[in-house]
Amino acid sequence: MTEPLADGADWQGADLHEIARQLVSHLGPTLVAALTGATDKARAIEWAKPDGPEPPHDAARRLVLAHRVWAQVAAAESDDITRAWFIGGNPLLGDHIPLTAILGDRGPDVMAAVRAFLEGRPDV
């Protein structure tokens, strides 16, 4: 059974190496490792290689969610603002940072925070 993402989309079958590569390139390996629960940034770097190992199931699911979030924010903002969004406190997430909300599998909450940010709502 394929697990849905916060918006109902399936994630399995995604090119996880490309997703990891893009996230590592734009957010850095330390943040990518942190949002997946990996204990070492080298793991994120390995996942980003075309011939690297596949991330574990939970990490893969979080990578896909993080990529979806990154793509939406990056389409509207610069790399610096997008990265800051991932590590800044967010009132819609109980003042937690989106990175830890992704790690905590709070996909629907994170997606709601993304929508509010992109809509320019003052509560974020």
pLDDT for the residue numbered 1: 29
- Give the phi and the psi of residue 96 in degrees, each rounded to 5: -80, 165
Q: Residue 53 carries which DSSP code?
A: P
For residue 82, give the H/E element and its range.
Answer: helix 79-87
Can you tell me the mean pLDDT for 18-30? Answer: 96
pTM: 0.86
- Across the chain, mean pLDDT equals 89
According to DSSP, residue 2 is labeled P
Question: Which contacts qualify for 108-111: CB closer than 8 Å, 24 or more apart?
Answer: 108/6, 110/6, 110/65, 110/69, 111/6, 111/7, 111/68, 111/69
Q: What is the pLDDT of residue 65?
A: 96
Q: Structural domain boundaries of the chain?
A: 16-118
Residues 32-88 have pLDDT tens digits of: 999 999 999 999 999 999 999 999 999 999 999 999 999 999 999 999 999 999 999
The confidence score (pLDDT) of residue 94 equals: 94
